[in-house]
Amino acid sequence: MSNIVGFDKQKKYFKALLDGGALSHAYLFHGPEMAGKRSFVLELCGKVNGRCFSANDPDIKFISAPDAEIPISAIRELKSFFSLRPYYGPYKFAVIDDAEKLNTESSNALLKVLEEPPKFGIIFLITSKPQMLLPTILSRCEAVRCLPQGDTEILEYLGDRRINGEDRALLVELAGGRLGWVVRTLENGNLPEIKKTIEEFRKVARQGIPEKMEYAKKLSENENRQEIFIDLLNWLYAQHKKGKSAPHALRGLLKLQNILSKSEFNPRLAIENFLLHI
């Protein structure tokens, strides 16, 4: 699995399993969000079957629920998926992302699949919150812990990509070792917008009340404000680690995130209050 940066311990572990023909039927990849767990799993699937996987490959099924629970219907589809032998083979794979979003019904349905796994099937559960999964599911999976990478590994991933030195430094700084975050940011082309968000915030933080009120209005009306605040949290946390940001700004933004998650609060007023106290 030479295409994956870092994860040396995990690479050695799975190489030994592959060499010995001792793969299990289910694995739980857990660690911080966007640490690179999904990328590692996809690379592993390709290694096991001897080819790269595309999104429409008949031998792999992805299950996720970015903004909701994973319903029992998804697990029923999984059962149907495993009822047929591999198209290319030798294995079929199921990748359940954000597995902590399995509800009670889908968890119990998945448990039955894990209790009687198909001989040619391997299930990968990916989560940043393993404590939210049923203990009976955890006990039937081999746990694989994925910790954040070092700055060296992030820079190795960036390699000879056409990214200037300033942007490389910013990516490493904001990533905090989360290789998956870097991969997603580059794939989605989000870096220019992130830089714009940071610059706007830095500018407004130095301005007066009228400018802050206008900025609060702008943010409150932005449908993507959640992503904006996450980007700012990453930046403030990185600044705090370097001793270049006041702790109260980071604490204030964390508090704001909590307030905005509750429908009874007025987003604009909450954002105004945060900006007035930084």
The rounded distance, in Å, linking the Cα atoms of 8 and 1 is: 10
pLDDT at residue number 118: 86
Residue range 99-117, pLDDT digits in tens = 999 999 999 999 999 999 8
pLDDT at residue 29 in the model = 96
Ranges of beta strands (E only) in the chain are 26-30, 60-63, 92-96, 121-127, 142-145
pLDDT at 190: 93
For 234-247, what is each residue's pLDDT tens digit? 999 888 888 776 68
Q: b/e per residue, 85-105, with b = 16+ CB within 10 A?
A: ebeeeebbbbbbbbbbbbeee
Rounded Cα–Cα distance for residues 71 and 270 (Å) = 34
Q: Which amino acid makes up residue 143?
A: A
User: Around Cβ 244, how many Cβ atoms within 10 Å?
Assistant: 9
Question: What is the pTM (predicted TM-score) of this model?
Answer: 0.79
Q: For residue 199, count CB atoms less than 10 angstroms from its CB and return exposed for 0-12, middle for 13-18, buried for 19 or more.
A: exposed
pLDDT (0 to 100) of residue 28: 97
pLDDT value, residue 260: 87
What is the Cα–Cα distance from 29 to 99, expressed in whole angstroms? Answer: 10
pLDDT tens digits along 48-59: 998 887 778 899
Q: Give me the mean pLDDT over the 116-136 stretch.
A: 94
The CATH number of domain 8-145, selected from 3.40.1180.10, 3.40.50.2020, 3.30.230.10, 3.40.50.300: 3.40.50.300
Show me where the domains of the chain are located: 8-145, 151-276
Average pLDDT over residues 122-145: 95
- Return mean pLDDT, the chain: 91
Residue where the block lists tokens 């404000």: 225
The CA distance from 238 to 174, in Å, is: 6
In angstroms, rounded to a whole number, what is the distance separating the alpha carbons of residues 148 and 160? 22
Q: Is 159 helix (H, G, I), strand (E, B) or coil?
A: coil
Q: Nearest Cα to 28, choosing from 75, 95, 89, 82?
A: 95
pLDDT of residue 130: 94
| Mean pLDDT lowest among 39-53, 54-68, 120-134, 217-231 | 54-68
Average pLDDT over residues 260-266: 86
pLDDT value of position 278 = 84
